[in-house]
Chains A and B, each alone.
Chain A
Amino acid sequence: MSLHDLIIEPLSHGFMQRGLASAVLLSISGGLLGSVLILRRMALMGDALAHSLLPGIALAWLLVGRGPLALLAGALTAGLLTALASALLSRLSRLKEDASFGAFFLIAYAGGIALVSQAGTRLDLLHFLFGHILGVGPADLALAAAAAGLTVLLFALLRRGIVLEIFDPVFARTAGFRGGWFHAGFLVLAVLNLVAALQTMGVILALGLFLLPAATAYLWCDRFRTMLALAAALGATGSTAGLLWSYHSGLASGPAIVLSLGLGFIFAALASPRYGLLRALHLAWRERRAVRHTAD
């Protein structure tokens, strides 16, 4: 297969161009959001949030149709309701936050699957869950651009507040930065980006585009700014590779992108010069040998 067949021919299709542009745009904002999720130890919470959007998206589709704004409104409602209900329950009952959030997101997710499978064909459900590259229309691309643009703009403007909110919230308060906007704003931004990534990634794997590049970058660098930039670059590279793979193999685009990003992550987890497994094993082995020598 020539380079032309591999890369250029696929990109001559409008849907591939739109899918690729949308994935690259969302990689940029996703790297930022994923970095915050990881540093605040909210990776699993973010995953649960992504799943809980399904009933809102499905309802909006059934009632209004598949315009991005309707989907966004449905997803925002479902996400906010799940977050609020679980926050309320964990505050007022003995259930802790993870349990109440876990319970609500499962209910929401099951409700969403029931809605989609009752209303549409089975094929539609698979597209919802795993992404479908043919589904990226011009309006979806516009939404991706808006989501990415807004995210990058807010991060650039509020970076000091974001760093302190993660790193040292009490100092953030004394510096006069308010915390309330952070949580609400972050939730809205995350939902916005998840909905924008829906067509390409699907509900189940959408967070992979955010989380994996950020986790890979986190294993590789020691500065916040570098981490954000690296995560964005990794996301763009991995999603491009994943889309091309999906085009050639017929694999759904969501899993193809996540697997490409996963390859980078596993490489970093093994080989990162400072935080990789191989280095940790090497250090442990050297230590043991040193101990044995002393014992002799």
Chain B
Amino acid sequence: MHSGHHQHDIFRLRDVTVHYGRRCALDRITAQIPCGGLVALVGPNGAGKSTLLRSLLGWLPLTAGEIRLGDHHPRHLHPRLAYVPQRAEVEWDFPVSVGEVVAQGRWPALGLFRRFRDSDHALVTKALAELELAPLADEQIRRLSGGQQQRMFLARAVAQGADIFLLDEPFNGLDLSATAELIHLLQGWQAQGRTVIAAIHDLALVRAHFPHALLLDTRLIAAGPTAEALSDANLDLAYRHRVPVLGARP
């Protein structure tokens, strides 16, 4: 169901600008992001990676510019677009089970009031199975490992019925084996024609596994095949104002 025709969709960004009060978070971004693969949003802290992700989701008001996927405003693309939060942003002590979180994936379609039907339950069960979480469905979410927590949010996005996944720093805080496992999983999604757009600060990881990248520093520095977009010259441009931090540069 996720094959073929979505692959030729292209996100078109024209002059996308976002201000928070007086601070400019995104400055006239014009770019095209092809769907059907793994795309990384790269840049230093505060470069606007999360802001761009939220803009692509369609609910963050743009100060100027526009974003379209095909002919559509992203707001009208739900449930195709799914958001996967940064693990640090979630309240892990919330009294909720893994199965309940995955079931939240049906809420965008059902809204506040409509009840779950058999088809909704089936989608949730299928998503739990796909991400190998079925045995953990009744656990409180704090008791999961980092990799399992990340998979839980991917499962929620799958249950939503999405084929375009917007991930905010999915590798943050994962150990080596969980990182490898997540990369393997996302590569499987790429083969199925699913689209993953992820904000990632780890350049080595992007170089090794993400074929396509956008380099940001409030404005767009470069976009395209990763090797070209993350050239030394471009990285110098993006990181020039920053004090060098161990590990932030290759």
Interface residues of A, Cβ cutoff 8 Å to B: 39, 157-158, 160-161, 163-164, 166-168, 170-171, 173-177, 218, 221-224, 226-227
Contacts and interface: CB of A to CB of B under 8 A. Distances in A.
Contacts of B91: 39, 166-167
**Chain B CB within 10 A, most for which of A163, A174, A176, A223:** A174
Given A164-B104, A170-B54, A224 B112 contact: no
B42 to A, nearest CB: 21
B97 A174 contact: no
Contact of A157 (B82, B107, B108, B113): B113
Given A161-B112, A168-B85, A173-B59, A222 B97 contact: yes
Contact of A160 (B57, B83, B95, B112): B112
B248 to A, nearest CB: 25
Interface string B66-105: 0000000000001001110100011100111100100010
Contacts, number: 68
A223 B96 contact: yes
B192 interface: no
Nearest to A175: B108
Interface in B27-76: 54, 57-60
B94 A224 contact: yes
Contact of A224 (B58, B89, B96): B96
Contacts of A173: 54, 57, 59-60
A177 B110 CA distance: 11
B81 A226 contact: no
Given A157-B112, A161-B112, A176-B111, A171 B95 contact: no
A277 B26 CA distance: 47
B57 A224 contact: no
Contacts of B57: 170, 173-174
**Chain B CB within 10 A, most for which of A39, A160, A177, A226:** A160
Nearest to B54: A170
A171 B83 contact: yes
Contact of A39 (B78, B94, B100): B94
Instruction: Rank and list the top 7 A-B pairs by shortest CB-CB distance, nearest first.
Output: A175-B108, A222-B140, A173-B59, A174-B83, A167-B94, A224-B95, A227-B95
Given A174-B59, A174-B83, A222-B97, A158 B112 contact: yes
Nearest to A177: B112
| Main SS at interface, chain A | helix
Nearest to A167: B94
Nearest to B86: A170
B107 A160 contact: yes
A40 to B, nearest CB: 8
A109 to B, nearest CB: 30
B95 A218 contact: yes
Contacts of A160: 104, 107, 112
Contact of A170 (B78, B89, B95, B156): B89
Contact of A164 (B60, B82, B95, B107): B107
A239 B95 CA distance: 25
Given A173-B57, A175-B107, A224-B96, A167 B112 contact: no
Given A157-B113, A175-B107, A170 B96 contact: no
**Chain A CB within 10 A, most for which of B90, B96, B113:** B96
12 contacts: A164-B104, A167-B94, A168-B89, A168-B104, A170-B54, A174-B59, A174-B78, A174-B108, A176-B108, A222-B96, A223-B95, A224-B96
Contacts of B85: 168, 170-171
A91 B156 CA distance: 35
Contacts of A166: 91, 94
Contact of B97 (A158, A167, A177, A223): A223
Contacts of A175: 78, 104, 107-108
